Structure 1
Amino acid sequence: MIEITEFLKAIDSFGYVNYYRGHADVNWKLIPSLARTQASSIDVWNCSQWADLEVEILRVFEKHGCSIIETPPRNQLEWLIHAQHHGLPTRLLDWSSNPLKALFFAVENPALDHLDGVVFGASVVTNFVMDKYVEIDQHNKIIGFHSSSLNKRVAAQEGCFTLTPIPDGWEKFMEVEESNRSVDYLGKYEIPKEHKPILRKQLKTLGITHQFLFPDLDGLAMSIKRDFGL
């Protein structure tokens, strides 16, 4: 598994890094899904800024989700994590404490094999444990935290997160980068597009698949689709 070995050697050279994230496209930015939303396309009927939009999204999600979620979230941060993992745009950015699982997300989609990928390794400035951090609006910089396993997906992916502060109005969100001191260190390992298929195969040999990282019927279905080339 020379490609995996080379990857791990490169990651080891990063030094102390506790957050990893994989992108299928080397040009994608380290910004949360809410920041990728075009403000001009939002129904801003009762939203005059990003903060209003987040409040409305979570209000509706909590209203209809509280009867569906088995264990109700204890605070706003837990609601954000649930919203993130069910596809709503939030100011959270998913990371993993395991570099191989980050690598999976950089190479898993054959439809993007024409693009070079990248795995980022970051040393996050502030690292909260979620149980000890409740108020999400008390910081004005990007912070990182490890979640107590709210759901099986977070646990399987060894998930951790960065939380980006809400900018004023509809201004751009802050990116994760060294220049704004949101992280102490940010390294990256670029993955040539021609290496993606072999890395995907090697990760499968190691048991790192959709079925493993998404331990539910959706993950099983995606693994079957990948196996059959669908």
Structure 2
Amino acid sequence: MGNTDMFEMIANMYDTPERIQIAKVSSDAIRNFWVETKSKNAIDFGCGTGLVGMNLLNEFKSMLFLDTSQNMINQIKQKITNYNIQNVDTLCFDIEKDSLSDIHADYIFMAQVLLHIHDVKLVLSRLFDALNEGGHLLIVDFNKNEKIVSDIVHNGFYPEELSNIMTEIGYRDIQFKTFYTGSKIFMGHDASMFILDSTKVHR
């Protein structure tokens, strides 16, 4: 998955006050879309150091922290040990190279992950396959920002365009909204963030 080498280098200094704050508002936004999750399993996809998932651990029966960066996963393992957390597992895995054939979840959430993914449709398709019937994929990311020009990340997304791609894959009941605007939060630029909820509908 994109930019793994960069994340390997910054893993041990990733948890800045700014990132912790963004993770909190992202977690709160994600939580608003849940229904009766105590018996459900979740994946924090592209979890980084687990800032979002750690905020949501108590809402689920179990959670898998998944990232392409082994150093990020090591940071989570340290947190799991420090806080004696029981209901979690970790996996270092690159979904752009292979599919999650033997892993399934009721909820998958990804916060500021999609902008690092080269082949967006491929990854969203593989996540669809990993969802249980009736399961939800929740995406938190930046709205499209034309001021940002980068070779390493997408400059945000139009949720409407994302919805069209996801509908083609099979996601249903797609809804989205902008929930946060911040100063210099996206590569030094002011930016806004959206949350998108989608469902793998029973057939």
TM over 0.5: no
Greater percentage in strand: 2
- Using structure 2 for the length normalisation, give the TM-score: 0.30
- Using structure 1 for the length normalisation, give the TM-score: 0.27
Select the structure of larger CA radius of gyration: 1
